[in-house]
Structure 1
Amino acid sequence: MNFIRTNIHDLVIIEPTVHYDERGYLSETFRQDQLEKFLGFKVNFCQDNESKSNYGVLRGLHYQSIPFPQTKLVRVLQGKVLDVAVDARKGSPTFGHHVAVELSSENRRQLFVPKGFAHGFVALSETATLAYKVDNYFKPQCDTGIAFDDPFLGIDWKLPAAELILSQKDKNQVPFLEVTHFDVNSYLYDEL
């Protein structure tokens, strides 16, 4: 596996090694030991989620608030998405910055999104199936989000606004500077 730090140090792109032959391919899509060695801390994933979206569906920007914030490991099983993570950690040198990465079933890239980040994606293919691991169980009372189109964030979703399809919940999210942000020191991980 190849681990690539983005311009926000804590967001990591993972490129699994794929072994092809005449039968097809084989790839290890997750290795806890290699991930933790690269990160330098432990991550204990406890739940897997999967969603399927049609072209133009934008889901986000979501995060789970205190006391159940979530780390995510995101990958695409089918299709292509633009995956976005926003640093919502007050006190972080990259507070309010974001990383946008194309994840697809062809490039097999994954994005590691630590606690303290809002996350979202838009489907760029006819359909896209996204799978992700989290390290805290879903708690509806802590489910919250940020406006996907907040000018402060300046996210280019790569599709015209007229082509975006959002839930009513995502249409009504609040601007980034109006949400309760994470304290950058609140979510330290257990070192190895």
Structure 2
Amino acid sequence: MEWTKGQIEGVVIKKLVKHVDERGFLVETFRIDELPEGLRPLMSYVSYTEPGITRGPHEHKAQTDIFSFIGPGNFMVKLWDNRRDSKTYGNCMKFFAGEDNPLTVVVPPGVVHGYKNVSKTTRGMVLNYPDKLFMGWGRSEEVDEIRHEEKEDSEFGME
């Protein structure tokens, strides 16, 4: 598949504002009144990624991810619209997010996504507020992921 640079239907990228004072800073990572209609996060988690390390690319069949990149660390983020029924099927996006460019990114199901910590020495932090529970209620279901990073000939390159 040949990917085209362009916007992806359903992806929301929101610039975050750090409110800084002598105590430190505060950032609203998401507000329910600013999320797409009907999107309701069901859990949250924090991940730290070592410098130079990539997470993904993978996609979800039913889950929407709401990532917040606020630092520490900076990330290169790549998205590919892999939904054949989407108006933007075949589009890809690449941008940078994190400490230097705080963003919240909404990634709908079927959009392949990955990110790489591009910081030289800083372990990078990412928050996620997915709209599905990992492995379902009571962790009794299969994981909702198609892991492209495990495929040797994957068309979703992070470099």
How many residue pairs get aligned? The number is: 144
- On the 8 A contact 1:84/1:98 being kept in 2, the answer is yes
The gaps in structure 2 that reach 5 residues or longer are 1-5, 136-141
Moved over 4 A (4+): 147-153
CA distance in 1, matches of 2:31, 2:101: 18
Q: Secondary structure at the match of 1:33?
A: helix
Map residues 22-171 of structure 1 onto 2, 5 A cutoff. 22-35=22-35, 39=36, 41-65=37-61, 69-76=62-69, 77-125=71-119, 126=121, 127-139=123-135, 140-147=142-149, 152-153=155-156, 155=157, 157=159
1:51, CA displacement in angstroms? Answer: 1.6
Q: Secondary structure at the match of 1:91?
A: coil
- Given the two structures, how large is their TM-score scaled by the length of structure 1? 0.65
- CA deviation digits over 1:57-83, x for unaligned, max 9? 111111233xxx111111223101111
CA distance in 1, matches of 2:145, 2:109: 13
Aligned partner of 1:14: which letter? K
CA gap 1:79/1:97 in 2 versus in 1, 3 angstroms: same
- On the 8 A contact 1:118/1:145 being kept in 2, the answer is no
CA distance in 2, matches of 1:114, 1:83: 15
CA distance in 1, matches of 2:110, 2:103: 21
Q: Secondary structure at the match of 2:126?
A: strand
- On the 8 A contact 2:79/2:94 being kept in 1, the answer is yes
CA gap 1:80/1:150 in 2 versus in 1, 3 angstroms: farther
- On the 8 A contact 1:84/1:100 being kept in 2, the answer is yes
- Given the two structures, how large is their TM-score scaled by the length of structure 2? 0.77
1:94, CA displacement in angstroms? Answer: 1.9
Q: Give identity over the alignment, percent.
A: 26
RMSD across aligned positions (CA): 2.3
The gaps in structure 1 that reach 5 residues or longer are 1-5, 158-192
1:150, CA displacement in angstroms? Answer: 5.8
